Structure 1
Amino acid sequence: GLLENSPYPLVTLNPDVVDDIQEKGGTILGSSRGGGKRVGEIVDSLERLNINILITIGGDGTLRGAWDIGEEIKRRGLKIAVVGVPKTIDNDLSFIQSSFGFDTAVTQAVPSVIGAHTEAKASINGIGMVKVMGRESGFIAASTALAMSDVNFCLIPESPFDLEGENGLLAHLKRRILARGHAVILVAEGAGQDLVPPTGEKDASGNVRFGDIGIFLKDKIEEFFRKEKIEIGLKYIDPSYIIRSAKANPNDSIYCSRLGAHAVHAAMAGKTQALISLLNNKFVHVPIKEAVSERKYVNIEGSLWRDVLENTRQPASMKN
């Protein structure tokens, strides 16, 4: 909508349009990738439409775009406020306690883990595997593993692992199967990318397209147990987009409403290139440049990952 030749018309958000959006998943505004080189055209549109407040909603890519738009606005000497609202289920933005969508994502991931556990227990040497989102940060997987004590192996991008060898995933999985007769694996999409053959592709935003770790692990696990002459029943569940498009849970609904209100207040007060953040349970303004200066990761030496390891009882390291 901010590009002049966009096929999507501008929408006036009046009470009739937004009256029931809290009951819907996804976004009524739509979503996009790429277009980062067209900042000048976006600012042209803001001028043409006489817009003096721009609120951007998204993750690190959106916020980098918002920063660039703010810089172009300053260069032109325009009086347009740019305020960011953090929206990413990955929860990987710095200087933010939690980004909205994350709480709902974990809530939605739990039923998939329950299903995987049920299927695993019902099969001979059953293995239930669930893949969730998390390209570079494994917060969804880690929090879901804490919410469900049924997870036996939680694999995240921050904690590399080997497949083969005495201390590799496959050996530990075999020991679990022989001891308990079933296992549940929860894997973030960005985990184990050093093991997966590279795709050599990039998306519209320039991010490397990851190989599918879920399918890769499924094939490797089945091949391993075939060679070991151990019968297994592996069920693979990929709820990624179901999780992302779900209706917001009450915590996220409240959070969204308050973020929106604080964004409007910040812009009306003359703040610009600021991100609305919840930090230490207080709403604060964080310079967008700082929020995107580095990604937030699961600290594998910290208490969150320690608690995950205690819950899953997996080894602290699965490297040989």
Structure 2
Amino acid sequence: MENNFEIQTLGAATIPSPLNLAKEDGNKFYRFVEEDDQFLADITLQGFDTCIQHNIRPACLDKAGPREHLYFNPKNTKAAIVTCGGLCPGVNNVIRSLVMALHYFYGSERILGIPYGFEGLVPEKGHEFIELHPDKVKDIHQFGGTYLGSSRGAQNVERMVDTLIEHKIDMLFAIGGDGTLRGAEAIARETEKRGSDIAIIGIPKTIDNDIDLIDKSFGFETAFDTATPIIRDAHNEAAGAYNGVAIVKLMGRDSGFIAASAAIAMPVVNFVLIPEMSFELGGKNGFLAALKKRLDLKHHAVIVVAEGAGQHLFETDSVPKTDASGNIQHRDIGIFLKDSIKHYFESLSQEITVKYIDPSYIIRSAPANASDSVLCNQLAYNAVHAAMAGKTKCVVGKMNNQLVHLPISKVIEKRKKIDVEGDLWFSALQSTGQPFSLL
């Protein structure tokens, strides 16, 4: 792994932190993080041996956490928070924790909520900023969705930066996925070009868990946690009919982490189909033949399919359709699978019952579970610490189970996908009992 994880700063941090970490006896509640507190990016023995062999310093990541000296004077600092992209469990937890950390840790009282994503930074859209304070956000973590509203699509970067400068905003916290982080980096480049000292900190949000390098995105665990009782009920539907088939479509445009994890968590699933795998419907080793074998043996089957799976089975559009964020709009694999299964068994004169369930919007609108709530708080607190210290163009996330700073440019290089030769997928195959190949 290349050693390119240096975090950009706005300047020298010279202002003493207001955080009092000392006890009366002089001992510490918690040690301030030093700039040389780092973790290895590659923790494998092979990576270590390579560095020794070539006499090179291993790639390292800066530890997240409070610094003893700050770049900004917290009392005079104005912060802004924006949420972009699709809904995801935990967004309100992050908003709440950002406000609480800014107010109670650092004494910052000027906190603005940007309504409806990056649209809110373009005055012509007509959205007014929301004044945020602890009393206003104290209960929002109990609800799904986003208190600030969200939107998709790029906005004029110059106009957004004009707005930040006009409102004298010192730090912007951007909560969102790949597209949001690209937008945040573009804003950071423009502020740098203008010589404006604005810290741009990303808090990675994607229900699909497809942001590269970080261990886990907030909301992902709630997603497959919420999906498991739905799969259980789907199994009841399938088992309640002779040759009953239940199809559950879960979110996962380009990565199948939710589908695979839910299938493992609720081990009544017989087939799980994800975007990373190759499979065919027909043929003696294809999916339909494998499904027939399952029905002939047990007379019911449960199928979990990620929304981005099986796109190769559709006719390719000459010009792919995209959504406002630039993501390719996938065809509906759930309905296609349902119709294909019906037609296949009709051709065999074999009677079946097919139930199709798509709980996607229920799942993404759910409030965060306990585990995700903990992660949301950790990310928010450390994002505030980073911004106050003058860090910019960075995200806070867990890598190798450590909270670290990562350059935005690194995490948006590619999407994280399931390794079909790795442990997670092997566990899914063992749990479902589906053939290793459906080709």
TM-score, L = length of structure 2:
0.71
Does the alignment pair 1:272 with 2:392?
yes
Aligned partner letter, 1:255: L
- Residue 265 of structure 2 is aligned with which of 147, 150, 153? 147
CA distance in 1, matches of 2:436, 2:163: 52
Q: How far has the Cα of 1:66 moved from its partner?
A: 0.7
SS at match of 1:172: helix
Q: Deviations over 1:9-50 (max 9, x none)?
A: 2111111220101101011111111124x1111101000111
Q: Which residue of 1 aligns with 2:213?
A: 95
- Counterpart CA distance in 1 for 2:126 and 2:243 is 52
Q: Does 2:249 match 1:249?
A: no
Alignment partner of 1:166 out of 284, 288, 293 = 284
Other-structure match for 2:27: none
Q: Highest relative contact order (Cα 8 Å, sep 6+), 1 or 2?
A: 1
Q: In structure 2, what residue type is equivalent to 1:275? A: V
1:76 aligns to 2:172 (yes or no)? no
Q: Which residue pairs with 2:305 in the alignment? A: 187
What is the alpha-carbon distance in structure 2 between the residues aligned to residue 137 and residue 223 of structure 1? 28
Q: Percent identity?
A: 53
Q: Quote the offset at 1:138 in angstroms.
A: 0.4
How many angstroms does 1:6 deviate by? 2.3
Which range moves more in the overlay, 15-24 or 234-243? 15-24
Match of 1:234 in 2: 354
Q: Report the secondary structure of 1:127's partner residue.
A: strand
Structure-to-structure mapping, 1:282-293, within 5 angstroms: 282-293=402-413
Shift of 1:317: 1.2
Shift of 1:197: 3.6
Q: Deviations over 1:248-282 (max 9, x none)?
A: 10111111111111001000000000000111221
Q: 2:206 & 2:341 partners in 1: Cα distance?
A: 31
Q: Is the 8 A contact 1:25 1:248 kept in 2?
A: yes
Q: Secondary structure at the match of 2:225?
A: helix
User: How many residues in Structure 1 have an aligned counterpart in Structure 2?
Assistant: 318
In 2: Cα distance, 1:202 partner to 1:298 partner:
23
The equivalent residue for 1:2 is: 121
**Deviates further, 196-205 or 131-140:** 196-205
Partner of 1:194, secondary structure, is: helix
1:42 and 2:164 matched: no
SS at match of 1:128: strand
1:5 is paired with a residue of what secondary structure? Answer: helix
3-state SS of 2:379 partner:
helix
**Partners in 1 of 2:292 and 2:214 — Cα distance?**
39
Tell me how far apart the structure 1 counterparts of residues 348 and 137 of structure 2 sit (CA, whole Å). 58
AA aligned to 2:124 is: N
2:146 to 27, 34, 55: 27
> What is the aligned counterpart of 2:251 among 113, 133, 145?
133
Aligned Cα root-mean-square deviation (Å): 1.0
Deviations 1:110-149 (A, max 9, x none): 1210111000000110001100000110000010011011
CA distance in 2, matches of 1:276, 1:106: 23
Structure-1 residue corresponding to 2:435: 315
Contact 1:196 1:212 in 2 (8 A): no
Q: Deviations over 1:56-112 (max 9, x none)?
A: 001101001111111111111100000000111100011101000001101111121
Structure 1 unaligned runs (5+)? Answer: none
Q: Which has the larger radius of gyration?
A: 2
What amino acid sits opposite 1:35 in the alignment?
A
Q: Does 1:305 align with 2:432?
A: no
The answer to whether the Cα contact below 8 Å between 1:198 and 1:211 also exists between their aligned partners in 2 is: no
8 Å contact kept, 1:277–1:284: yes
Q: What residue in structure 2 maps to residue 261 of structure 1?
A: 381
Aligned AA (2:297): A
8 Å CA contact retained: 1:104, 1:252 = yes
Contact 1:198 1:210 in 2 (8 A): no
Residue aligning to 1:212? 332
Cα distance change of structure 1 residues 222 and 289 upon mapping to structure 2, 3 Å threshold: same
State the distance in 1 between where 2:232 and 2:219 align. 21
Flag structure 2 segments of 5+ consecutive residues without an equivalent. Answer: 1-119
| Matching residue of 1:223 | 343
Q: How many Å separate the matches in 1 of 2:377 and 2:390?
A: 21
Distance in 2 of aligned mates of 1:300 and 1:132: 19
Separation in 1 of the partners of 2:205 and 2:390? 22
Question: Residue 193 of structure 1 aligns to which amino acid in structure 2?
Answer: Q
Q: How far, CA to CA, are the matches of 1:300 and 1:188 in structure 2?
A: 15
Alpha-carbon distance, 1:198 to partner: 4.5
